[in-house]
């Protein structure tokens, strides 16, 4: 009979065997409970009245409340209802009307519902995400808004050239507007300004480029549809100001002219006109860049009258300046 091992040795062997088993099976602890997959709350909800619809925009977060990736969205529910005084989220949610939204994944999302039921009322709007097992996220940030009769879409939009760009006009019974423009080679329209009148000067429009303009009426959270687009190419049809400060002085064998420099950024040059005594003006110099001219084609003892015009890069010519007179030496 083999001698029995001491108890301590047996215990050591058992412990070593358990260690080998742990290493071979990868066991590191007790199994974790299944993830709840509850979405983190939405924090960027925006709500507007767009024509005869209520529209919400929001982002479904990519993570769950446990910091894990949100794998399935389930249902996104929009609720609209009257607020409470004092406000209580649970009381509001219990009395609000629920609208399921068709949203299948995380990221940016949009939902729309008819506005007719809520016209003339102050309402609170919120959304939350319900996972496939019926577990709900907390409510999003809530938006309080008044729902109005649908705003009329601006009509008869027109555009005209202006010395500073394009002047857009329209007809509407509303008092506040957003103006949108789509430029050459641009895919989408962008907002270029707002107006509380029925006119807007687009100083960013470039002469010779084609633009598409639309106008939208706005009031608080309410927005009309956008107008029919008008396509327009502003043209530079506007001459510079007539030159000022012209003086004519007899010099040595010439009559010297000087005048004030024009300030237009697109100035190309000046034209000089001369008249003998009381005769008609005739052009004697073309597109001078500096505001000075020496007229040497004069006859001694004769009187001459001079006038100057300014010309821009598009060829538009100003009216002539006030005339100046001098006698040739």
Q: What is the DSSP string of 83-136?
A: --SS--HHHHHHHSEEEEE---SSEEEEEEEE-GGGTT-EEEEEEEEE-TTS-B
Which pLDDT belongs to residue 16? 53
Query: 155-232 has which fold?
Result: Immunoglobulin-like (2.60.40)
Which pLDDT belongs to residue 1? 47
Cα-based angle 62, 65, 68 (whole degrees, multiple of 5):
55
Q: In a 3-state reduction of DSSP, which class is residue 8?
A: helix
- Ramachandran region, residue 196 (left: φ > 0; alpha: ψ -120 to 50; beta: rest): alpha
Look up residue 273 and give its two tokens.
């006109």
Under 8 Å between Cβ of 256 and 324: no
Region(s) of the chain under CATH 2.60.40.10: 46-146, 155-232, 247-327
CATH, domain range 46-146: 2.60.40.10
Which pLDDT belongs to residue 255? 97
Q: In a 3-state reduction of DSSP, which class is residue 192?
A: strand
Which pLDDT belongs to residue 293? 98
Give mean pLDDT in consecutive 10-residue pieces for the chain, a chain of 329 residues. 50 52 50 78 97 96 94 92 92 96 92 96 97 94 96 97 96 97 94 98 96 97 97 96 97 96 95 94 96 96 96 96 95
CATH, domain range 247-327: 2.60.40.10
Strands 122-130 and 255-258: unpaired
Which pLDDT belongs to residue 29? 55
Which pLDDT belongs to residue 23? 46
């Amino acid at each position: 009979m083999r001698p029995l091992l001491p108890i301590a040795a047996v215990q050591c062997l058992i412990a070593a065997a358990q260690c080998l088993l742990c290493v071979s099976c990868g066991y590191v602890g007790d199994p974790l409970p299944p993830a709840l997959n509850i979405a983190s709350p939405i924090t960027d909800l925006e709500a507007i009245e767009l024509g005869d619809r209520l529209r919400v925009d929001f982002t479904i977060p990519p993570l769950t409340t446990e910091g894990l990736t949100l794998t399935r969205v389930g249902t996104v529910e929009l609720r609209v209802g009257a607020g409470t005084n004092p406000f209580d989220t649970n009381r509001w949610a219990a009395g609000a009307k629920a609208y399921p939204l068709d949203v299948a994944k995380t990221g940016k999302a949009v939902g729309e519902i008819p506005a007719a039921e809520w016209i003339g009322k102050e309402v609170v709007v919120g959304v939350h995400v319900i996972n496939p097992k019926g577990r709900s996220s907390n409510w999003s940030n809530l938006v309080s808004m008044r729902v109005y009769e649908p705003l009329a879409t601006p009509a008869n939009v027109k555009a005209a050239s202006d010395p500073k760009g394009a002047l857009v006009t329209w007809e509407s019974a509303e008092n506040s507007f957003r103006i949108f423009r789509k430029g050459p080679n641009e895919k989408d329209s962008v907002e270029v300004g707002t107006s509380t009148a029925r006119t807007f000067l687009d100083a960013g429009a470039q002469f010779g480029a084609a633009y598409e303009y639309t106008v939208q009426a706005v009031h608080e959270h309410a927005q009309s549809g956008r107008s029919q687009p008008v396509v327009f190419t502003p043209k530079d049809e506007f001459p510079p100001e007539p030159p000022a400060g012209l003086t004519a002085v007899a010099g040595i064998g010439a009559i010297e002219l000087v005048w004030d420099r024009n300030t237009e950024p697109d100035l190309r040059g000046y034209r000089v006109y001369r008249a003998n005594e009381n005769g008609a003006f005739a052009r004697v110099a073309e597109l001078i860049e500096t505001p000075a001219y020496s007229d040497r084609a004069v006859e001694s003892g004769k009187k001459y009258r001079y006038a100057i015009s300014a010309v821009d890069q598009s060829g538009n010519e100003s009216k002539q300046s006030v005339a100046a007179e001098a006698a040739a030496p």
